[in-house]
Amino acid sequence: MTFKPGQFVQVFIPQNGDKPLRRSYSIASAPRDPNWFELCVTLVDGGKGSTYLHSLKPGQKVQIMGPLGKFTHPDQLLRDMVFIATGSGIAPMRSMIDDLVDKKTERQLFLLYGNRYDGDIIYQEEWENLESDNRNFRACLTLSRPEKWQGPKGYVGEKIEGFVPNPKEKDFYICGLSNMINDVQSKLLALGTPKDQIHFE
């Protein structure tokens, strides 16, 4: 399956003789090989989709539909890119960032990633290694309810001004819960970022 970074698939969840449920999951890997892709699925207590996927054993077959969606970066980047995510909303950002790094983009890439607790940061080591290895990538990992965390603290919307230089000149991609998306969008508009430079899922 070929896909564009940022797209998603729908997974069919079997239901004991009833019509399967469908659950949408963003692809969390860059399109390096058409024979595989990764999903980032947080196990939710009582969640039928995540419980099903986490119960699978190697070799089991899964029915999916895709790729779907238009939450993708352009082929030619006109501006530096800022990716803002919370929780498992990091999945399409990882796909896009890894793809752009693979393509050796000269644009600056910023990741502003928010979670609640110390152990919640998905792909933490990857982001830290990517930042140290790539001069075009910067990451701000922030926690709203830190325990022993010594890094940035607070919500992603509070970090934009100090982390992103000249937000009016950037393209923003946002993924997470609707309240966060609305707050960040309002913040960016107040900072003068044109609406057509703000993309969200």
pLDDT digits (tens, 9 = 90+) for 131-155: 999 999 999 999 999 999 999 999 9
Tokens 């999945």 identify what position? Answer: 91
Query: Which of 93, 7, 8 lies closest to 49, judged by CA?
Result: 8
Q: What is the pLDDT of residue 164?
A: 96
Tokens 């419980």 identify what position? Answer: 51
- Whether 83 contacts 173, CB under 8 Å: yes
Q: Is the pLDDT of residue 17 over 90?
A: no
Q: What is the pLDDT of residue 24?
A: 96
Q: Is the pLDDT of residue 16 over 90?
A: no
Q: Please list, in sequence order, all residues whose beta carbon lies within 8 angstroms of the beta carbon of residue 155, skipping any fewer than 6 positions away.
A: 114, 142, 144, 180, 183
The span from the CA of 29 to the CA of 71, in Å, is: 14
Give me the mean pLDDT over the 85-103 stretch.
Answer: 97
Give me the mean pLDDT over the 167-186 stretch.
Answer: 96
The span from the CA of 129 to the CA of 125, in Å, is: 6
Q: Please list, in sequence order, all residues whose beta carbon lies within 8 angstroms of the beta carbon of residue 101, skipping any fewer than 6 positions away.
A: 109, 130, 134, 136, 137
Mean pLDDT of the chain: 96
Residue 16: what residue type? Answer: N
Express as a percent the part of the chain with pLDDT over 90: 98
Q: Is the pLDDT of residue 68 over 90?
A: yes
The span from the CA of 129 to the CA of 5, in Å, is: 21
The helix (run of H) or strand (run of E) holding residue 51 is helix 48-55
- pTM of the shown model: 0.95
Tokens 């990741």 identify what position? Answer: 111
Torsion of CA 162, 190, 131, 100, to 10 degrees: -160
Give me the mean pLDDT over the 100-106 stretch.
Answer: 96
Give me the mean pLDDT over the 85-110 stretch.
Answer: 97
In the structure, what pLDDT confidence band is assigned to residue 110 with cuts at 50, 70 and 90? very high
Give me the mean pLDDT over the 12-34 stretch.
Answer: 94
Q: Is the pLDDT of residue 163 over 90?
A: yes
Tokens 């950037």 identify what position? Answer: 170
